[in-house]
Chains A and B, each alone.
Chain A
């Protein structure tokens, strides 16, 4: 027989007027290769069908199941119970709006981020279907992809000191997104244009450098390097703007 795991799970359903925020205890027997994906689904199907949480790909590639697991933001699907003690505490991610229990609204947060960062290629070129594709250096393509690996799980935002203090801070995910376009030769935006978006306290200069974003990133993105890169670039842009005045 496996360990008897004790799950302490945050419960609150804003749509149920009888519901108040509280912690609830569940007990489940551990099976071989059990992940939190398996455990939570069993809890919902066998013990409490009202339990609210999110999973989608359950393979660490979509970012739907981020939650605070024993105090640390992470993906529930790739967390194995055998790496955790017998008592497992699960809380929803902070910063994002709570939908219910362990589910938070990352969708709206990220969609607003696309608008703020204008997360698309800015170009005046038209696509010509009759023409060969424009050439690109393979190393550049790979570099862009390395930054595009973000799965928008929200772990970096919920672990960020500044984001916890002020809700207009764009956070590592947004700055990483900008960096992706800065290095893309197809995007014709100038440094000054990027400065208008992130050259301020809710952008690049709001970061306190606590490094938690990179620590908790399940895709191990080089978030601090991007912050450093953008901060230098924006610093220089600011000085240039100042001299021109």
Chain B
């Protein structure tokens, strides 16, 4: 078996992974980045919107600063975030955007003079100051007090990804594509690298490193309906949790978006509803106004998702070969509006559905969108439980998003956290020498080869991986989606327990040779079912509604009992996750208050305790 050695091994070469790698390479360390796909195909490149950073250059961003950004982020998290981390993030974001500009990102810039913009379908005017000409401009995003989202046309993620990958090429970082880490090498104390399957040949390889960083994005693909790329399947989380000592933070915190198209769940923008689009049911009748008389279609992301689900449950969904859905109607907006203001939606409808949105309805359904859950790390990005293991980006629960994420904060997190954690990894590399236990390495390599051999021979059983996966995805859709309640969550956990047993008895249908996909799916299915169980069990135990976690039977946000973070461990041999809890934040800069949208009652925490933990900003 081939063995490769580096100072830093980065698993995942999206924006977070490559940003971390760049920091170490700049400090002179040897870095290897592994990626399932060529780096530029990473899901980071799909992000269109932009990155939040309080530069305050544009007219509508005037007066913006890192404190306002910090406050928006904490509110958005429904006070579930680590405020120390949110502060680090907000403070570093403007510098990071400027650095990206220096490296080559073609950010859109301030154009001086008068121009118009739309808000709620109404036209307004704004004036950009001449002295700001050519500085990085920003656009408006939901949940932010100022226009703060830096962007490059409608392809921010793509543009930043190109620049970051160029930087890696410049620094000579080995970015190896079609390599999938299938387990971490560790002795229960220290992480030593990973066993990796080459997706060209199917052969196993060993990668040893002083430090290892998991930057593999979210795990939306364990749900049936998700906006995520097919590579966002939780592989990084699975190998971390598999160690038995690294917990998944806040597994129940999963964000949903109201309008993914059916069948492929590609996102169509909230702008459709913002500009006057309506949602229709099987009878082609509007329904949002029945549930939300004031805001109707314009209620917040999580609220609309909930109401759509409720309406489909009431039997008003449209049946299709791909399951139930509803309709999005933008026909009345007219040709001019659709081909200019909603060009991207128009193209998605044409290219993926063959639907002309001017005359036809768009099939949509609520869809999994973002995982606030992730490998739990401290504020330095160091994973709990194993020395030398780090995590950054959507893969991590670093935790600046808490229980809900603001648009524009996820893409920003990739590079901002990558930069901050990259520096911490450099400090770690400078201060650490290591030795590798060959016994541990060989045992792990042997164990992984045996797993593959067992799958091919069918020695442990003949369960079909795709069937088990489909049932897991369906179980989460039924019990753990937009709405959660005691009964459905209970059923979900039960179904998943059955699937966990079956996932131990997978046997391949194919021969499993070469770049075989069935092997890849089979190697991670058991870990995926465990992740699913973590979500379901943590959601079952958390008897409150906070951010995206919505309990029909416990609609209040309960700060008295639940102002905390879930840590889901899976010690070897267990059939259920072990749930522990820690306080949400070491201190409050902003004590818990109203989120400002989505409504809901709050059960307040003990005021004295909150006051004792509240600090004034010491800067």
* Interaction A to B: yes
CB contacts (< 8 Å) of A127 on chain B: these are 98-99, 102-103
Most chain B CB atoms below 10 A, which of A16, A32, A61, A119: A61
Stretch at the interface among A130-138, A194-202, A209-217: A130-138
Contact, CB under 8 Å: A141 / B106: yes
Contact, CB under 8 Å: A129 / B170: no
Contact, CB under 8 Å: B45 / A33: no
Contact, CB under 8 Å: A114 / B169: yes
CB contacts (< 8 Å) of A120 on chain B: these are 104, 166-167, 169-170
From known contacts A111-B175, A133-B98, A133-B135, infer whether A141 and B202 are also in contact, taking CB-CB under 8 Å: no
From known contacts A50-B516, A135-B134, infer whether A32 and B320 are also in contact, taking CB-CB under 8 Å: yes
Q: Indicate if A13 sits at the interface (CB-CB under 8 A).
A: yes
Q: How many residues of A contact B (CB 8 A)?
A: 72
0/1 string, B323-347, CB within 8 A of A gives 1: 0000000000000000000000000
What is the minimal beta-carbon distance from A221 to any residue of chain B, in angstroms?
13
Q: Given the complex of chains A and B, what is the CA–CA distance between A136 and B152 in angstroms?
A: 13
From known contacts A100-B514, A135-B133, infer whether A141 and B107 are also in contact, taking CB-CB under 8 Å: yes
Stretch at the interface among A77-85, A160-168, A228-236, A237-245: A77-85
Choose among B109, B512, B514 the residue that contacts A141 (Cβ–Cβ < 8 A): B109
Q: Indicate if B460 sits at the interface (CB-CB under 8 A).
A: no
Contact, CB under 8 Å: A133 / B102: yes
Q: Indicate if B295 sits at the interface (CB-CB under 8 A).
A: no
Contact, CB under 8 Å: A13 / B514: yes
Q: Indicate if B517 sits at the interface (CB-CB under 8 A).
A: yes
Contact, CB under 8 Å: A125 / B351: no
CB contacts (< 8 Å) of B109 on chain A: these are 135-138, 141
Q: Indicate if A148 sits at the interface (CB-CB under 8 A).
A: yes
Contact, CB under 8 Å: B515 / A100: yes
Q: Indicate if A59 sits at the interface (CB-CB under 8 A).
A: yes
CB contacts (< 8 Å) of B515 on chain A: these are 13, 15, 52, 99-100, 103
Q: Indicate if B443 sits at the interface (CB-CB under 8 A).
A: no
Q: Indicate if B200 sits at the interface (CB-CB under 8 A).
A: yes
Task: Report the nearest A residue to B518, measured CB to CB.
Answer: A49
Q: Given the complex of chains A and B, what is the CA–CA distance between A201 and B370 in angstroms?
A: 47
Contact, CB under 8 Å: A186 / B104: yes
Contact, CB under 8 Å: A59 / B517: no
Contact, CB under 8 Å: A56 / B37: yes
Stretch at the interface among B3-11, B154-162, B182-190, B609-617: B154-162
Contact, CB under 8 Å: B354 / A80: yes
Contact, CB under 8 Å: A57 / B41: yes
Q: Given the complex of chains A and B, what is the CA–CA distance between A127 and B163 in angstroms?
A: 15
From known contacts A63-B41, A138-B108, infer whether A35 and B264 are also in contact, taking CB-CB under 8 Å: yes
0/1 string, B130-174, CB within 8 A of A gives 1: 000111110000000000000011010011001001110110000
Contact, CB under 8 Å: A32 / B321: yes
Q: Indicate if A204 sits at the interface (CB-CB under 8 A).
A: no
From known contacts A48-B510, A55-B230, A129-B98, infer whether A31 and B43 are also in contact, taking CB-CB under 8 Å: no
Q: What is the size category of the interface that chain B forms with chain A?
A: 35 or more
From known contacts A107-B177, A111-B175, A135-B109, infer whether A15 and B169 are also in contact, taking CB-CB under 8 Å: no
Q: Indicate if B369 sits at the interface (CB-CB under 8 A).
A: no
0/1 string, A50-83, CB within 8 A of B gives 1: 1110111111111110000000000001101011
Contact, CB under 8 Å: B518 / A50: yes
What is the minimal beta-carbon distance from B324 to any residue of chain A, in angstroms?
14
What is the minimal beta-carbon distance from A83 to any residue of chain B, in angstroms?
7
Choose among B40, B46, B169, B321 the residue that contacts A115 (Cβ–Cβ < 8 A): B169
Q: Indicate if B27 sits at the interface (CB-CB under 8 A).
A: no
Query: In B229-268, which residues have CB < 8 Å from any A CB?
Result: 229-231, 262-264, 266
Q: Indicate if A37 sits at the interface (CB-CB under 8 A).
A: yes
Q: Indicate if A14 sits at the interface (CB-CB under 8 A).
A: yes
Contact, CB under 8 Å: A49 / B508: yes
0/1 string, A140-165, CB within 8 A of B gives 1: 11101100110110000000000000
Choose among B110, B167, B266, B322 the residue that contacts A58 (Cβ–Cβ < 8 A): B266
Contact, CB under 8 Å: A61 / B45: yes
CB contacts (< 8 Å) of B101 on chain A: these are 133-134, 136
Q: Given the complex of chains A and B, what is the CA–CA distance between A64 and B229 in angstroms?
A: 11
Task: Report the nearest A residue to B516, measured CB to CB.
Answer: A50
Q: Given the complex of chains A and B, what is the CA–CA distance between A41 and B232 in angstroms?
A: 16
Query: In B73-123, which residues have CB < 8 Å from any A CB?
Result: 95, 97-99, 101-104, 106-111
CB contacts (< 8 Å) of A49 on chain B: these are 465-466, 508-510, 516-518
CB contacts (< 8 Å) of A137 on chain B: these are 109, 134
Q: Indicate if A121 sits at the interface (CB-CB under 8 A).
A: yes
CB contacts (< 8 Å) of A51 on chain B: these are 517
Task: Report the nearest A residue to B466, measured CB to CB.
Answer: A45
Q: Indicate if B353 sits at the interface (CB-CB under 8 A).
A: yes
Q: Indicate if B603 sits at the interface (CB-CB under 8 A).
A: no
Q: Indicate if A89 sits at the interface (CB-CB under 8 A).
A: no
Contact, CB under 8 Å: B102 / A134: yes
Contact, CB under 8 Å: B46 / A37: no
Contact, CB under 8 Å: B511 / A16: yes
Q: Indicate if A224 sits at the interface (CB-CB under 8 A).
A: no
Q: Indicate if B513 sits at the interface (CB-CB under 8 A).
A: yes
Contact, CB under 8 Å: B263 / A38: yes
CB contacts (< 8 Å) of A10 on chain B: these are none
From known contacts A60-B351, A100-B515, infer whether A105 and B200 are also in contact, taking CB-CB under 8 Å: yes
Q: Indicate if A184 sits at the interface (CB-CB under 8 A).
A: yes
Contact, CB under 8 Å: B41 / A58: no
Q: Given the complex of chains A and B, what is the CA–CA distance between A140 and B101 in angstroms?
A: 13
From known contacts A59-B352, A82-B354, infer whether A106 and B264 are also in contact, taking CB-CB under 8 Å: no
Choose among B153, B177, B508 the residue that contacts A145 (Cβ–Cβ < 8 A): B153
Contact, CB under 8 Å: A83 / B166: no
Q: Given the complex of chains A and B, what is the CA–CA distance between A15 and B197 in angstroms?
A: 14
From known contacts A50-B518, A107-B177, infer whether A31 and B169 are also in contact, taking CB-CB under 8 Å: no
Choose among A56, A63, A114, A125 the residue that contacts B231 (Cβ–Cβ < 8 A): A56
Besides A15-B201, A135-B134, A136-B134, 16 more A-B contacts (Cβ < 8 Å) are A15-B515, A33-B363, A49-B516, A50-B511, A58-B230, A61-B46, A61-B158, A64-B37, A99-B515, A111-B177, A121-B103, A127-B102, A136-B101, A138-B137, A148-B155, A152-B40
The 3 A-B pairs at the shortest CB distance, nearest first, are namely A15-B514, A135-B134, A50-B510
Pairs across A and B, CB under 8 Å, 6 listed: A14-B514, A33-B355, A37-B264, A59-B348, A61-B46, A61-B158
